[in-house]
Amino acid sequence: MSEHDGGLVLADQPLRVRPCSVAAALDIVGERWALLVIREIGYGVHRFARIAGYTGASRDMLADRLRKLESAGIVERRQYSEHPPRFEYHLTEAGQELFPVLLALREWGDKWAVDQPAIQVRHDCGHLVKSVLTCQHCGAPVTRDTVTPERPATFRATGGPDRSPSGRALS
Amino acid sequence: MSEHDGGLVLADQPLRVRPCSVAAALDIVGERWALLVIREIGYGVHRFARIAGYTGASRDMLADRLRKLESAGIVERRQYSEHPPRFEYHLTEAGQELFPVLLALREWGDKWAVDQPAIQVRHDCGHLVKSVLTCQHCGAPVTRDTVTPERPATFRATGGPDRSPSGRALS
């Protein structure tokens, strides 16, 4: 992306908070515990006590995050016992589609944040995963140097409020 | 990944906090403002007042996040004026390599968190970016269903503390 101060995409933009899908995504999942809970459910751990144990979240913290993730349409509860009432937590389609975010965080963390990865991820081809972002259209890698941000011609600066996957407006 | 409770990778793991590169990465960048600052610098916005304006961070919040990101080796300061002393903020290599994390968050946010993206990203091939995670080894897509987490044979459960890109241990 452009390196001069101001940035390409900003040529016509006043200096005010940038409406942005990254920010909107972070409003929903931009919190350490939320992403760790999603990681854990993605590993196939669906029960409250185990999610708490593997993430290190306190019961109150976890209950709060699960409620928010459910209300945002990322996680859904499924009852597996009636007496007493007990629930498992599963990822919705929106939750499952956070896989690239978690994989990108994992690969960055493997390289820059730990001495030695504690878990590695193997691809079906038999190799450990080292992922490359490629363009769905041309198949070439998508890197910082091969993309340009721009404002959509149709963007309405006064567009409606951001919405969560459940369709509810976010606070 | 496996969907039964417990999860494949956990068969031999006691119920305790999982050492994990995702968690380690989130210890460094798992905070809304940190990632928005990195997004902004990635857009080519290098000066304090403009980063504050486009992210909406208060000056205190921004100064705090920039200090932490600098100390973690994600951002570096470069002096551009001596009298008065003024600095620009640039991404280090570790910071630049967060591009896939931000792109994955953007694509997820475009689909699940906003009605209409305010910024779109165009690939050099001329198409708007829709990225696919592919395996560097076999070239096939890397998806939730084509990977398996496992514990490295060499992992030492009592390994040293996580480190930040600057080599400093994280609190």
Taking only the tens place, the pLDDT of each residue in B120-155 is 899 999 999 999 999 999 999 999 999 998 888 875
Name the average pLDDT for chain B.
Answer: 84
- pLDDT (average), residues B4-12: 50
Residues in chain B: 171
Task: Say what the ipTM of the complex is.
Answer: 0.84
Predicted pLDDT of residue B7: 53
Predicted pLDDT of residue A155: 57
Tokens at residue B53, please? 């304006």
pLDDT > 70 fraction of chain B, expressed in percent and rounded: 82
- Do B117 and A144 count as a contact with CB atoms less than 8 A apart? no
CA distance A9 to A4: 11
Before A141, cis peptide (omega within 30)?
A: no
* Nearest-by-Cβ selection for B149 from A5, A116, A119: A119
Predicted pLDDT of residue A10: 52
Q: Binning pLDDT at 50, 70 and 90, where does residue B159 land?
A: very low
Average pLDDT per block of 10 residues along chain A, 171 residues long: 48 73 87 91 93 93 95 95 94 95 94 90 95 95 92 61 42 30
- Do B136 and A133 count as a contact with CB atoms less than 8 A apart? no
> Does residue B83 belong to the interface with chain A, where contact is any CB pair within 8 Å?
no
CA distance A162 to A151: 17
Q: In terms of pLDDT, which residue wins out, B98 or B27? A: B98
Q: In terms of pLDDT, which residue wins out, A48 or B2? A: A48
Predicted pLDDT of residue A8: 47
- Do A156 and B56 count as a contact with CB atoms less than 8 A apart? no
Q: In terms of pLDDT, which residue wins out, B89 or A3? A: B89
Beta bridge partners of A122: A128, B148
| Torsion B54-B94-A106-A31 (CA) sign | negative
Residues 87-116 of B with CB under 8 A from A: 88, 94, 96-116
Q: Binning pLDDT at 50, 70 and 90, where does residue B100 land?
A: very high
Q: Collapse the DSSP code of B99 into the 3-class scheme (helix H, G, I; strand E, B; otherwise coil) and give the result.
A: helix
Work out the minimum CA distance from B96 to partner chain A, whole angstroms. 8
- For A41, nearest residue in chain B (alpha carbons): B3
